[in-house]
Amino acid sequence: MTDRIIILDFGSQVTQLIGRRLRELNVYCEIFPFDKCPRIDGSVRGVILSGSPCSVRDADAPDVDLGGIKGNVPLLGICYGAQLLASKYGGEVEGSLAKEYGRAMLTLIAPSPLFEGVKSRSQVWMSHGDTIAALPEGASVLASTDDVVFAAFKFPGEETYGVQFHPEVYHTEEGLKMLSNFALGICGCRADWTPASFIETTVASLREQIGDDKVILGLSGGVDSTVAAVLLNKAVGSNLTCIFVNNGLLRKFEYDTVLESYKDMGLNVIGADASEAFLSALAGVTDPEVKRKTIGRLFVETFEKYARKIENARWLAQGTIYPDVIESAGIPGIASKIKSHHNVGGLPEKMNLKIVEPLRMLFKDEVRRVGRALGIKDELVGRHPFPGPSLAIRIIGDVTPEKLHILREADDIFIKALKAYDCSSMDFPSSSDPSRKAVNLYDATWQAGVILLPIKSVGVMGDERTYKNAVALRAVASTDAMTADWFRFPYDFLARVSDDIINKVPGVNRVVYDISSKPPSTIEWE
Ligand code: XMP
């Protein structure tokens, strides 16, 4: 049985980071909404209570029954979690005392296994309105900041801790050390969560779950569905059939190159070319949401048409990853963002298929680590994310074959230039593996593409006045696409791409660079 830590989510923006940081330590953990705490069996070595946008002083503040947890297994409350521990067990939480946002200096006051090897003064990240004014009886203070006396505390005679700051946030200098002390030291977890162990246990459990049944999977060319396909292929071999839909909106040559690379990998792939159906359904459509819905509907129809040809299919495999699972679960009573990732909605019930999602417990960076351990080419593992509605949402306004042609050519120049620019002497981390430096600008950016704008502008080429399209370049740095910053390219790179696009793509005479961050903007323009 794998040791695990349970994280109860009270709705903080950074709960996922707690999970990521523990997984970085090779400790297996799972995140549950605070009101869906699983049974505390022998595999649970510790529990963490997350932060929250709520106040424990609210009448309907989210709460959890800690009966079988506190005193039985190690427990760590973070921010709201710490305040909940304080207020539930006789301490006091007030709203009117010092509020702290941002960086603060933590000073250790008493020795504790939680702070083993941590500097006596170090920077931490705070984000709280309420403050703990009094600790429960017998609890002792372990660390303070200038403004917050009870920045870390421990209950007597049990491994229950509270910290007012966020150890999971990168700005907390010694945060990883503290989480490591909790998970590996206090909880005694084994650090056995590695890509190799994941592959071994997942392949075995897929074999048991699926047996001799047939499975179908929709490949997108992206990292998640590719890794899911290779894992399933390892488990059930030729009983897996993959379907790769050409929606007519892919990048230049993408359909053929990706299809070819899948065949090289020994996957059983059917190419479903439905370009014409997609393009005719999109004709004249300008509203982004209508574009998305049209593409989603056609995708399901196309997939269904081909899936029906596979006799006796019992399972539909999907490349769902952990952030999709957590976001879809939502936290009751607390505002939650629900991402509508259009997979093949409606199909499972219609075709009487059961769902199998081998990556549903992995974060994106872990999917990539697993992909590498499976021997998938870096070219595929390191691919940028690409939206399901493809280039349709990068053409502002209606989609026509002519506009698609212009966009494909400009996009191809941009992406090729990113791959060709050696930046190994610069200080950019690789976006697909932040532990190393990026080798080129494609590797350094999380995602990049061109947007075809619905405006024309005046230019001069040779001796002639031109009146042609403008395109925008978009490139961001990010770790999960939830937030993103525009990428600081060297000027010489931007200059070269701009020249190349204007000189080589008929129909374009102006290139602009999008310098908006997310939030408040988004990565895509539609
Ligand atoms: P935004 O534009 O919301 O995008 O900042 C965040 C990430 O999601 C991708 N994206 C989509 N992916 N279907 C998808 O499968 C969509 O409709 C869609 N819209 C955006 C986007 O490319 C980025 O990686």
Domain boundaries, the chain: 4-186, 195-381, 400-513
| Residue at 109: amino acid letter | I
Task: Give the CA distances from residue 388 to residues 247, 312, 339, 524, in Å, rounded to whole numbers and listed in that order.
Answer: 10, 28, 13, 12
Rounded to the nearest 5°, which phi and psi values hold at 360? -65, -10
Task: Give the CA distances from residue 389 to residues 292, 294, 316, 407, in Å, rounded to whole numbers and listed in that order.
Answer: 6, 9, 21, 15
Per-residue confidence band for 328, with pLDDT thresholds at 50, 70 and 90: low
Whether 187 is catalytic is no
Give the per-residue pLDDT at 63.
Answer: 96
pLDDT of 238 > 80? The answer is yes
- The residue annotated as part of the active site, out of 166, 189, 242, 366, is 166
Of 435 and 379, the one with more pLDDT: 379
Cα–Cα distance, 128 to 51 (Å, whole number): 9
Give the per-residue pLDDT at 128.
Answer: 85
Of 223, 523, 525, 526, best ligand 1 pocket probe by most atoms within 8 Å of the beta carbon? 523
State the average pLDDT for the chain: 92
Give the per-residue pLDDT at 98.
Answer: 60
| Residue whose structure tokens are 């700051």 | 165
**Span 456-475, average pLDDT:** 95
Of 367 and 480, the one with more pLDDT: 367
Cα–Cα distance, 262 to 242 (Å, whole number): 10
**Span 511-524, average pLDDT:** 94
* CB atoms closer than 10 angstroms to residue 7: 25
Give the per-residue pLDDT at 99.
Answer: 66
How does pLDDT run across 407-443, given as a tens digit for each residue? 999 999 999 999 999 999 999 999 988 778 999 999 9
**Span 361-380, average pLDDT:** 91
How does pLDDT run across 386-396, given as a tens digit for each residue? 999 999 999 99
- Fold classification of 4-186 is Rossmann fold (3.40.50)
Asked which of 9-13, 114-118, 140-144, 315-319 is least confident by mean pLDDT, the reply is 9-13
pTM: 0.79
Q: Determine how β-strand 4-9 pairs with β-strand 44-49.
A: parallel
Give the per-residue pLDDT at 336.
Answer: 43
Give the distance (Å) from ligand 1 centre to CA of residue 387.
5
* Protein residue with its CA nearest to atom 11 in ligand 1: 387
pLDDT of 480 > 70? The answer is yes
Per-residue confidence band for 1, with pLDDT thresholds at 50, 70 and 90: confident
pLDDT of 75 > 90? The answer is yes
- The residue annotated as part of the active site, out of 100, 168, 409, 526, is 168
- Can you name the residues that pair with 512 across neighbouring β-strands? 472
Judge if the beta carbon of residue 481 lies within 6 A of ligand 1. yes
Give the distance (Å) from ligand 1 centre to CA of residue 416.
22
Whether 174 is catalytic is no
How does pLDDT run across 101-158, given as a tens digit for each residue? 888 999 999 999 999 999 999 999 998 889 999 999 999 999 999 989 999 999 999 9
How does pLDDT run across 191-215, given as a tens digit for each residue? 988 999 999 999 999 999 999 999 9
Give the per-residue pLDDT at 472.
Answer: 98
Query: In which region does residue 490 sit, left (phi positive, over 0), alpha (psi from -120 to 50) or beta (all else)?
Result: beta
Question: Domain 195-381 is in which class?
Answer: alpha beta
Give the distance (Å) from ligand 1 centre to CA of residue 520.
15
Whether 260 is catalytic is no
- Can you name the residues that pair with 466 across neighbouring β-strands? 459
User: b/e string for 86-95 if b means 16 or more Cβ within 10 A?
Assistant: bbbbebebee
Percent of the chain scored above 70 by pLDDT?
95
Per-residue confidence band for 329, with pLDDT thresholds at 50, 70 and 90: low
Cα–Cα distance, 264 to 260 (Å, whole number): 6
Per-residue confidence band for 351, with pLDDT thresholds at 50, 70 and 90: confident
CB 270 within 8 A of CB 243: yes
What the block records as the tokens of 318 is: 């999907």
Specify the ligand 1 atom closest to the Cα of 447. 24
Question: Domain 400-513 is in which class?
Answer: alpha beta
Specify the ligand 1 atom closest to the Cα of 388. 15
Give the per-residue pLDDT at 338.
Answer: 34
pLDDT of 340 > 90? The answer is no
Per-residue confidence band for 342, with pLDDT thresholds at 50, 70 and 90: very low
Per-residue confidence band for 341, with pLDDT thresholds at 50, 70 and 90: very low
Rounded to 5 degrees, what angle do the CA atoms 7, 228, 379 make?
Answer: 110
Domain 195-381 and domain 400-513, same fold? Reply is no
Per-residue confidence band for 331, with pLDDT thresholds at 50, 70 and 90: low
Cα–Cα distance, 49 to 32 (Å, whole number): 10
pLDDT of 53 > 60? The answer is yes
* CB atoms closer than 10 angstroms to residue 492: 9
* Protein residue with its CA nearest to atom 4 in ligand 1: 523
Judge if the beta carbon of residue 63 lies within 6 A of ligand 1. no
Per-residue confidence band for 450, with pLDDT thresholds at 50, 70 and 90: very high
**Span 229-235, average pLDDT:** 97
CB 132 within 8 A of CB 82: yes
* CB atoms closer than 10 angstroms to residue 240: 26
What is the Cα gyration radius of the chain?
Answer: 26
Of 49 and 347, the one with more pLDDT: 49
Of 524, 525, 526, best ligand 1 pocket probe by most atoms within 8 Å of the beta carbon? 524
**Span 238-254, average pLDDT:** 97
Per-residue confidence band for 335, with pLDDT thresholds at 50, 70 and 90: very low
Judge if the beta carbon of residue 296 lies within 6 A of ligand 1. no
